Structure 1
Amino acid sequence: MSLALLVFLAGCVNQSVKHVNATRAAHAEREIPQAELLDVNIAVFDPGYTEPVDEDSGIFPQVRKAEAGFIPFRLRETLQSTGHWGPVRVVPSPTTSSELMITGTILESNGRDLKVAVKAVDASGRKWLDKTYEETAASLSYSDVEPSEIDPFQDLYNRIANDLLKSRKSLSSKELRDIRTIAFLRFADDLSPDAFQRYLKENNGDYSVRGLPADGDPNVQRIQAIRERDYRLVDTLDQHYYLFGEQMQAPYDEWRAASYQEAKNLEKVRKEAIGRMVAGAVGVAAGIYGAGQASNSAEAAAAYSGVVGGGYLLKTGIDKFGEKKLHVEALKELGESLSTDLKPRVIELEGKTITLSGSAEAQYQEWRELLRKIYANETGLPPGGAEDGSAKDKDR
Structure 2
Amino acid sequence: MTDKHGKRFARVKLISLFLLSFVLAACQSNANRSQGPLLVGPSAPEVRAQNADANANLQNASVFLDVAIPTFDPGFPMDRNTGEIDYEELDDEGIWPQLRRTEAKLFAVETKKAMQSEKVFGSVVVVPDASTPSDLFVLGTITHSDSEVVGASVTVVDSSGEIWGIQEFKHEVSQNFFRDQRNSGKNPYEPIFKQISGYVVSLLSKLSEQDKQQIKDMSLMRYARYYSPEAFGQYIETDVKRKNGQRYYKFELNGLPDKSDPMLARIEELRAQELLFIDRLQDQYEVFDAQVGPSYQTWQEQTLPELEAAREAAFKRNASAAAGIGLGILAAILAKNSGSSAGQVGAVLGGIGSVVAINEAFKSNSAMKVHNAVIEEQGQAVDLSVGPTEMEFEDNTIELQGTATEQYMQWKTHLRNIYSLESTPDTQL
Q: Determine if contact 1:376/1:382 at 8 Å carries over to the other structure.
A: no
- Measured against aligned partners, the alpha-carbon deviations of 1:186-214 in whole angstroms (never above 9, x if no partner) come to 11111111221122222222223222222
Q: Give 3-state SS (helix, strand or coil) of 1:206's partner.
A: strand
In the alignment, structure 1 residue 216 sits paired with structure 2 residue 260: yes
- Amino acid paired to 1:3: K
Q: Determine if contact 2:156/2:163 at 8 Å carries over to the other structure.
A: yes
Identity %: 24
2:75 corresponds to which residue? 48
Q: Whole-Å Cα distance in 2 between the matches of residues 260 and 118 of structure 1?
A: 25
Once the two structures are TM-superposed, the CA of residue 77 in structure 1 deviates from its matched residue by 0.2
Q: Which one is further off, 347-356 or 71-80?
A: 347-356
Pairing of 1:33-112 with structure 2 (within 5 A): 35-49=62-76, 50=78, 51-54=85-88, 55-95=91-131, 97-112=133-148
Give the TM-score normalised by structure 1.
Answer: 0.77
Q: Determine if contact 2:95/2:356 at 8 Å carries over to the other structure.
A: no
Question: Can you give the 5+ residue segments of structure 1 that lack an aligned partner in the other structure?
Answer: 284-317, 384-396
Q: Whole-Å Cα distance in 2 between the matches of residues 259 and 330 of structure 1?
A: 9
In the alignment, structure 1 residue 352 sits paired with structure 2 residue 399: yes
Of residues 346, 361, 375, the one that matches 1:339 is 375
- Amino acid paired to 2:75: G
- Measured against aligned partners, the alpha-carbon deviations of 1:87-142 in whole angstroms (never above 9, x if no partner) come to 10000001274200111111111111111111011112221121111111122322
In the alignment, structure 1 residue 182 sits paired with structure 2 residue 218: yes
- Amino acid paired to 1:265: A
Q: Whole-Å Cα distance in 2 between the matches of residues 71 and 319 of structure 1?
A: 31
The 1:62–1:323 alpha-carbon spacing in structure 2 relative to 1, beyond 3 Å, is closer
Q: Whole-Å Cα distance in 2 between the matches of residues 249 and 363 of structure 1?
A: 24
Of residues 300, 316, 322, the one that matches 1:278 is 322
1:388 corresponds to which residue? none
Q: Determine if contact 2:314/2:350 at 8 Å carries over to the other structure.
A: no
Q: Determine if contact 1:97/1:187 at 8 Å carries over to the other structure.
A: yes
1:330 corresponds to which residue? 361
Give the TM-score normalised by structure 2.
Answer: 0.72
The 1:241–1:106 alpha-carbon spacing in structure 2 relative to 1, beyond 3 Å, is same
Q: Give 3-state SS (helix, strand or coil) of 2:176's partner.
A: helix
In the alignment, structure 1 residue 139 sits paired with structure 2 residue 175: yes
- Measured against aligned partners, the alpha-carbon deviations of 1:139-197 in whole angstroms (never above 9, x if no partner) come to 23222544354422222222222221121111111110111011011111111112211
CA RMSD of aligned residues (A): 3.3
Q: Whole-Å Cα distance in 2 between the matches of residues 30 and 184 of structure 1?
A: 25
Once the two structures are TM-superposed, the CA of residue 320 in structure 1 deviates from its matched residue by 11
1:3 corresponds to which residue? 13
1:196 corresponds to which residue? 232
Give the paired residue count: 347
- Amino acid paired to 2:193: Y
In the alignment, structure 1 residue 173 sits paired with structure 2 residue 217: no
